[in-house]
Amino acid sequence: MVQSSRHDIVIVGGGAAGLRAAIQAAEANPDASVALVSKVYPMRSHTVSAEGGAAAIAREDDSLELHGFDTVKGSDFLGDQDVIQYFVEDAPRELALLENWGCPWSRNDDGSVSTRAFGGMTTKRTWYATDKVGFHMLHSLFQHSMRFPNIVRYDEFFVTKLLVEDGVCQGVAALEIRTGEFHAILGRAVILATGGAGKIFPFTTNGTIKTGDGMALAYRAGVPLKDMEFVQYHPTGLPGTGILITEAARGEGGYLRNNKDERFLVEYDYGVGDKAELGPRDMVSRAIIQEFEAGRGFENRYGNYCAVDLRHLGEEHIDAKLPFVRELARTYIGVDPVHEYIPIRPVVHYMMGGVDTDITAATPLPGLYAAGEVACGSLNGANRLGSNSLTECLVFGAVAGRNAMDFARGSADGDQARLVAQAEEEAARVEALRGNGKGSEQISSLRVEMNSALEAGCGVYREQGTMAVAADATRSIRQRAADLHLKDTSKVFNTEVISALELLNMVELAEALAVSALHRKESRGAHTCRDYPTRDDQNFLYHTLAHRTEDGPRLDRKDVNLGHWEPQERKY
Ligand X SMILES: Cc1cc2nc3c(=O)[nH]c(=O)nc-3n(C[C@H](O)[C@H](O)[C@H](O)COP(=O)(O)OP(=O)(O)OC[C@H]3O[C@@H](n4cnc5c(N)ncnc54)[C@H](O)[C@@H]3O)c2cc1C
Do the beta carbons of residue 250 and residue 308 sit within 8 Å? yes
H/E segment holding residue 231: strand 231-237
The answer to the question of residue 393 lying near ligand X (CB under 6 A) is: yes
Among 79, 119, 120, 134, binds ligand X (CB under 6 A): 134
The answer to the question of residue 46 lying near ligand X (CB under 6 A) is: yes
What CA–CA distances, in Å, run from 323 to 7, 316, 330, 337, 569? 43, 10, 11, 10, 38
If DSSP states are collapsed to H, E and C, what string results for 3-64?
EEEECCEEEECCCHHHHHHHHHHHHHCCCCCEEEEECCCHHHCHHHHCCCCEECCCCCCCCH
The answer to the question of residue 244 lying near ligand X (CB under 6 A) is: yes
Stretch that binds ligand X, among 105-113, 209-217, 273-281, 286-294 (CB under 6 A): 209-217
Do the beta carbons of residue 134 and residue 9 sit within 8 Å? no
| Residues of this chain, 348-377, that bind ligand X according to CB under 6 A | 350, 372-374
Stretch that binds ligand X, among 35-43, 77-85, 301-309, 318-326 (CB under 6 A): 35-43
Name 549's Cβ contacts closer than 8 Å, sequence gap at least 6: none
Stretch that binds ligand X, among 71-79, 208-216, 399-407, 410-418 (CB under 6 A): 208-216
The answer to the question of residue 499 lying near ligand X (CB under 6 A) is: no
The answer to the question of residue 506 lying near ligand X (CB under 6 A) is: no
Query: CB 464 → ligand X: shortest distance, Å?
Result: 30
Which amino acid, one-letter code, is at 496? E
If DSSP states are collapsed to H, E and C, what string results for 512-565?
HHHHHHHHCCCCECCEEECCECCCCHHHHCEEEEEECCCCCCEEEEEECCCCCC
Among 18, 79, 92, 553, binds ligand X (CB under 6 A): 18
**DSSP summary character for residue 178:** T
The answer to the question of residue 390 lying near ligand X (CB under 6 A) is: yes
**Of the residues 234, 281, 349, 520, which is catalytic?**
234
The answer to the question of residue 389 lying near ligand X (CB under 6 A) is: yes
Distance CA 127, CA 426 (A): 44
232 phi, psi to nearest 5 deg: -85, 125
Stretch that binds ligand X, among 11-19, 94-102, 323-331, 432-440 (CB under 6 A): 11-19
**DSSP summary character for residue 385:** P
- How deeply is 333 buried, as exposed, middle or buried, from its count of CB atoms within 10 A (0-12, 13-18, 19+)? middle
Name 89's Cβ contacts closer than 8 Å, sequence gap at least 6: 64
Do the beta carbons of residue 543 and residue 557 sit within 8 Å? yes
Query: CB 244 → ligand X: shortest distance, Å?
Result: 4
Stretch that binds ligand X, among 27-35, 163-171, 384-392, 513-521 (CB under 6 A): 384-392
Distance CA 461, CA 230 (A): 12
Distance CA 479, CA 525 (A): 31
Among 34, 40, 430, 443, binds ligand X (CB under 6 A): 40
The answer to the question of residue 53 lying near ligand X (CB under 6 A) is: yes
Among 68, 79, 195, 457, binds ligand X (CB under 6 A): 195
- How deeply is 129 buried, as exposed, middle or buried, from its count of CB atoms within 10 A (0-12, 13-18, 19+)? buried
Among 10, 12, 394, 546, binds ligand X (CB under 6 A): 12
Query: CB 40 → ligand X: shortest distance, Å?
Result: 4
Query: CB 381 → ligand X: shortest distance, Å?
Result: 15
Within 10 A of 538 (CB to CB), how many other CB atoms are there? 7
Among 25, 50, 72, 189, binds ligand X (CB under 6 A): 50
Among 9, 10, 11, 17, binds ligand X (CB under 6 A): 17
Do the beta carbons of residue 371 and residue 396 sit within 8 Å? yes
The answer to the question of residue 194 lying near ligand X (CB under 6 A) is: yes
Do the beta carbons of residue 231 and residue 223 sit within 8 Å? no
The answer to the question of residue 278 lying near ligand X (CB under 6 A) is: no
Stretch that binds ligand X, among 16-24, 277-285, 327-335, 418-426 (CB under 6 A): 16-24
The answer to the question of residue 15 lying near ligand X (CB under 6 A) is: yes
Do the beta carbons of residue 458 and residue 510 sit within 8 Å? no
Among 24, 29, 33, 45, binds ligand X (CB under 6 A): 45
- How deeply is 495 buried, as exposed, middle or buried, from its count of CB atoms within 10 A (0-12, 13-18, 19+)? exposed
Distance CA 281, CA 451 (A): 22
The answer to the question of residue 133 lying near ligand X (CB under 6 A) is: yes
The answer to the question of residue 13 lying near ligand X (CB under 6 A) is: yes
Q: Is 234 in the active site?
A: yes
**Of the residues 250, 281, 434, 462, which is catalytic?**
250
Query: CB 259 → ligand X: shortest distance, Å?
Result: 26
Stretch that binds ligand X, among 36-44, 143-151, 432-440, 486-494 (CB under 6 A): 36-44
Among 34, 37, 218, 256, binds ligand X (CB under 6 A): 37
Tell me whether residue 374 or residue 497 sits nearer to ligand X (CB atom): 374
For the annotated catalytic residues, the residue numbers are 234, 250
Which residues would be at the binding site for ligand X (CB under 6 A)?
12-18, 37-40, 42, 45-47, 49-54, 133-134, 158-159, 193-196, 205-206, 209-210, 213-214, 244, 350, 372-374, 387-390, 393
